[in-house]
Chain A
Amino acid sequence: MIDEPYRWVEAIANRREYIEHQLAPGSPIVALSYADGIVLLTLSRERQKIFEIYDRIAMGGIGHPGDIERLRLAAIELCSTEGFARSAHDVSLRRLANFSLSPALKAAFEQVYGAPYLARLIFAELGRGDVPNLFLRLDYDGSIHTNGGSFGRSFEEFGVIAGTKSAAERMERLLREHDATKASLSRAVRIAAEAWSLGHMASPDDAAEELPKRAVLKKHLDEQLAHAAVECAVLERSSTLPITWRALPEAETRAMLDAE
């Protein structure tokens, strides 16, 4: 079947449709810069979705837990081996994604007789010194989107993933309107939660449609918070140790969400 080029394209298109369908109900994950580093936030019912990868790199994933786990372990191994053989300064998210993860994802996606990775990942890397924070989205087909440096787009201080393209675009629109780079952790958490709420609400097909009012977003968030766990972690610039990761206890995050 797939020895004909047209059939191969068709098979890939089917596969893409299947994966998108599987990913669609995934709970969005928000990562954004605040005054003292990066905050990552999501709501989840069953399992942890935000993870520490290395001293200054964190990851969030939606998709099949088995595939996320494989990619997470591979990322930790690659970073740890590099950090051990050379130095923690040589570990870079750009290289991890470009040279190691992306080709593996692409190969698995395009070999139509094998299983693809059912996963969409968001990575965040805390910059050293004056280097800006890097947010990088890695998709099941190996494609990479970053928060800046590319043609026709200004640099952004956030990155999101969501089940659907339109949900992610609407979240990005909201985050563009709220600059959190100088915000306290508490305020950044509230902005992240608002963006999550927007991404989680059933979104119209047309991403350009008017965004809902804040009260609507808050109401939806409160409804979800009633029966889901809120997961939040930070990469802190002010950390006295090389390790910048800190997972926030749920009570601390909820207190911040109620602080308004």
Chain B
Amino acid sequence: MTERGLPPPQGAQDFAAVLRREGVLPNAPVVGANAAVEQTQATTILAFKYSDGVLVAGDRRATAANTIVYDRADKVLEIDRHSLMAIAGVPATAWEMARVLEHSFQFYRRTQLQEMSHEGKVRALSKLLRDNLGMVLQGVGVVVPIFASYDAAAEVARLYFYDAMGAQFEAADFAATGSGSPAVRAVLHFANSWGAKPLRKLKANDAIMLALRALETAASSDSATGGVDRRADVFPIVKTITSAGIETLSEARLARLFKGKLV
């Protein structure tokens, strides 16, 4: 509290900077420079472009070493009306990052009286990942997200994946990260190249089926990926972004599709 009793104005309107000033955003603890870097992200998330836009899916399992901690984790998070972030990595850091991002976009829109550009949103996540580098080097906070957003200017849904240091890559057709991603990438590459139709031409139901099958494939060999839990009726989270906005597919619809075609 300085200028006439109110906090000093933020020139760049960067919400993360406001949080840091208020001491709400913690910095990475420093224990030793040579801590082993944990490279595994025990989960599987995937995203690909289909005929209506982008589909993003993630399994529900959260693990700590070889223990299953939670089987209903939500790893596909809505950041705003047109953006989704799917997370692989340390949940504490990833969820906090999603929260900062969500509030940053709102904060920007409210203070600047305009929506943040698509490029600005993509870059904002990149910057958060870069700020998190300290945690990554400590081996406690690695996050490797996928970001999907509807670009209103170009009228097309776009898809990005990142590395743990914040480099962003725009995916042409699909992206997958996490421990089960090699299997998912193989499935998606195969389907895109030699399937009945390339991914971009798939109708919504076929796209959803492919996402569920890809996660099941990953779960068959990767113990850290949940897939579909048939006994408890737990399904992966599947969300789509189209020009109309974000849609979360109901468990009932997933169950109907899954039981009709997969079993």
Contact = CB atoms under 8 A, between A and B. Distances in A.
A108 B4 contact: yes
A52 B99 CA distance: 20
B107 A80 contact: yes
Interface string A58-76: 0000000000001101101
B182 interface: no
Nearest to B13: A73
B19 A84 contact: yes
B241 to A, nearest CB: 15
Contact of B103 (A70, A84, A114, A117): A84
Given A70-B9, A76-B111, A83 B4 contact: no
Nearest to A85: B24
A77 B5 contact: no
A53 B100 contact: no
Contacts of A53: 110
Interface of A: 48, 51-54, 70-71, 73-74, 76-78, 80-81, 83-85, 103-105, 107-108, 114-115, 117, 241, 243
Nearest to B18: A77
A83 B106 CA distance: 11
A77 B10 CA distance: 9
A104 B100 contact: no
Nearest to B5: A104
B127 interface: no
Given A80-B15, A80-B106, A81-B24, A74 B113 contact: no
A243 B3 CA distance: 30
Contacts of A115: 4
7 contacts: A48-B113, A70-B9, A73-B111, A76-B110, A84-B19, A85-B24, A108-B4
B4 A81 contact: no
B4 A241 contact: no
Given A73-B9, A77-B7, A107-B5, A84 B99 contact: yes
A22 B3 CA distance: 22
A114 to B, nearest CB: 7
Interface of B: 1, 3-7, 9-10, 15, 18-19, 22, 24, 81, 99-100, 103, 106-107, 110-111, 113
Task: Rank and list the top 10 A-B pairs by shortest CB-CB distance, nearest first.
Answer: A104-B5, A74-B6, A108-B4, A84-B103, A107-B5, A80-B107, A76-B110, A85-B24, A104-B6, A52-B110
B9 to A, nearest CB: 5
Contacts of B6: 70-71, 74, 104
A58 to B, nearest CB: 11
Contacts of A48: 113
A107 B19 CA distance: 25
Contacts of A107: 4-5
A94 B129 CA distance: 36
Contact of B19 (A51, A71, A78, A81): A81
Contacts of A52: 110
B14 to A, nearest CB: 12
A103 B113 contact: no
Contacts of A103: 5
A103 B107 CA distance: 24
Nearest to B4: A108
Interface centre among B22, B81, B100 (most CB of A within 10 A): B22
A98 B55 CA distance: 46
Contacts of A77: 7, 10, 18, 107
A90 to B, nearest CB: 13
A47 to B, nearest CB: 11
Nearest to A79: B110
Contacts of B110: 51-54, 76, 80
A104 B81 CA distance: 35
A164 B242 CA distance: 50
A102 to B, nearest CB: 10
Contacts of B107: 76-77, 80
Given A76-B110, A77-B18, A80-B110, 14 more contacts: A54-B110, A70-B4, A70-B6, A71-B6, A73-B9, A74-B7, A77-B10, A80-B106, A84-B24, A84-B100, A84-B103, A103-B5, A241-B81, A243-B106
